[in-house]
Amino acid sequence: MAEYAVELRDVTKVFGDVVAVDHVSMAVRPGEFFAMLGPSGCGKTTSLRMIAGFERPTSGEIYIDGKPMGNTPPFRRNVNTVFQSYALFPHLTVEQNISFGLEMKGVPRDEIKRRVREVLELVRLPQMANRYPRQMSGGQQQRVALARALVNRPKVLLLDEPLGALDAKLRKEMQIELKNLQREVGITFIFVTHDQEEALTMSDRIAVFSKGRVLQIGTPLEIYERPANRFVADFIGETNFLDGVVKEVNGEMAVIEVNGRRFVGRAGEGVRPGVRASLSVRPEKLQLLDQPSGSPNCYEVTVSSIAYVGSDTRVIVRLGDQMIDVWEQNSISTLDPNYFFGPGEQAWLSFPPENGLILVD
């Protein structure tokens, strides 16, 4: 078995004068659940389509199971796609849709019947074989699309926003189901999504795309806790940015000055004394206190507004002319309104240095 199920080496795709994918390199390991995450137009779908063979790279090479794909057409690649629109054949029944790929490969009739039955069990639609796609709900069609791809036992399954058309609740269910399914079948999944929560929940690793480039590849933990740059920190989850200038760097830590106030945080890549940078600190990693803490990152702030959302209390505070989001977990059950800060009150904002990340733009 090749070291990587899919590998992109310096792949670029140009449409007219638009660079859709810009020197992208990434390697997906066998059996991995790999997400390509980014806003629309970031090149993630084009990358997926190049792996499937619907588009040819302008330059660079794509390897599937160690073999360079070159001009190999889609029907000779050992990958299958679950399309965003599902693309089920409306003139064929569920069973005929799922059989299609196996018929094209010349698999014997009885084996086709058996494998179709198995895969329908797998996606939990055993009674639906004779339905037509339009007679099914969106969620059921989604499972059929999945079954139609999986029945071919591809080396790699490509999924283009497969949950995009489902409503929020069904989507949550399918996220878990899809993840379990992937573990069960052991096939490499490459998954395109613009939903960061979806990517974090499901993936082993995530490639974050922006403007045709890959900004960071890492586990959900790495992407969330150690974003490589400002875009990733901003795109994944919520964060506060405090813009300033780097004053000192001591190993892993650095000091940044923001409007005359100094903060200590982890130094990101390229952080040197004198460069412009941003302190990124996530709202749930901040504390609001009645009195100063011992942290070097502790300043008096004014509470601007407060929103009780059940699990959290979301407070917006003002530090100088900067607004900062603070999410405090409601870990104590109380009906006492005085437990919470009120608008206009003074408080101390504090966070330990390891909770802050200093990033060069």
Partner 1 sequence: MMQALREHPSLRVAALMAPGAFWLLLFFLAPLTIMGVISFLSRDAQGFPTPPYTLENYLTIVRDIRFAPSLSFEGGLHVRLFEGLYLDLLWRSIWLSLLSTLLTLLLAFPVALFMAQLPRRYRNLALFAVMIPFWTNFLVRTYALQFMLRANGPINTLLRALGLPPLELIFTPTAVMIGLVYGNLPFMILPLYTSLEKFDWTMMEAAHDLGADTWRAFTRVMLPLISPGLVAGSILTFVPAIGSYITVDLMGGGRTNLIGYSIAQQFSASVNWPFGSALALVMMVIVTIAAVLYFRSARGTQRVLI
Minimum CB separation of residue 133 from partner 1 in Å reads 9
Q: Which is nearer to partner 1, 90 or 344 (CB)?
A: 90
Minimum CB separation of residue 96 from partner 1 in Å reads 10
Q: Which is nearer to partner 1, 188 or 313 (CB)?
A: 188
Minimum CB separation of residue 87 from partner 1 in Å reads 4
Distances (CA, A) of 201 to 34, 37, 176, 208, 355: 11, 12, 8, 15, 22
Site for partner 1 in 60-99 (CB under 8 A): 73-75, 79-81, 83, 85, 87-91
Alpha-carbon gap, residue 303 to 340, rounded angstroms: 11
What lies within 8 Å, CB to CB, of 159 at 6+ separation is 81, 82, 178, 189, 190, 191, 192
Stretch of 110-118, 147-155, 201-209, 216-224 lying at the interface with partner 1 (CB under 8 A):
147-155
CA atoms within 13 A of residue 279's CA, in its CB half-sphere: 31
For residues 83 and 145, the answer to whether their CB atoms sit within 8 Å is yes
Q: Which is nearer to partner 1, 57 or 101 (CB)?
A: 101
Q: What are the start-end ranges of the E strands in 237-330? A: 240-250, 253-258, 261-267, 276-281, 287-289, 298-308, 312-319, 322-329
Side chain identity at residue 259, one-letter code: N
For residues 73 and 14, the answer to whether their CB atoms sit within 8 Å is no
Q: Which is nearer to partner 1, 79 or 347 (CB)?
A: 79
104 counts as binding partner 1 under rule CB under 8 A: yes
Q: Which is nearer to partner 1, 85 or 304 (CB)?
A: 85
Q: Which is nearer to partner 1, 148 or 230 (CB)?
A: 148
Render 69-99 in DSSP notation, one character per residue.
Answer: -TT--GGGSSEEEE-TT----TTS-HHHHHH
| Nearest-5° Cα angle at 325, 306 to 209 | 140
For residues 8 and 52, the answer to whether their CB atoms sit within 8 Å is no
Stretch of 145-153, 168-176, 208-216, 341-349 lying at the interface with partner 1 (CB under 8 A):
145-153
Token pair in block for residue 321: 């002319």
165 counts as binding partner 1 under rule CB under 8 A: no
Site for partner 1 in 243-272 (CB under 8 A): none
Q: Tokens 């992937």 belong to which residue?
A: 182
Q: Which is nearer to partner 1, 81 or 142 (CB)?
A: 81
Minimum CB separation of residue 6 from partner 1 in Å reads 15
Minimum CB separation of residue 84 from partner 1 in Å reads 9
Minimum CB separation of residue 100 from partner 1 in Å reads 5
Kindly state the number of chain residues that form the binding site for partner 1, as judged by CB under 8 A.
25
Token pair in block for residue 67: 């073999």
Binding mask 15-54 for partner 1 (x = CB under 8 A): -------------------------------------xxx
**Cα four-point dihedral sign 38, 221, 150, 154:** positive
Q: Which is nearer to partner 1, 105 or 114 (CB)?
A: 105
Token pair in block for residue 260: 């005359």
132 counts as binding partner 1 under rule CB under 8 A: yes
Q: Which is nearer to partner 1, 69 or 301 (CB)?
A: 69
Minimum CB separation of residue 61 from partner 1 in Å reads 21
Render 166-179 in DSSP notation, one character per residue.
Answer: S-HHHHHHHHHHHH
The site for partner 1 (CB under 8 A) is made up of 52-54, 73-75, 79-81, 83, 85, 87-91, 100-101, 104-105, 132, 134, 148-149, 152
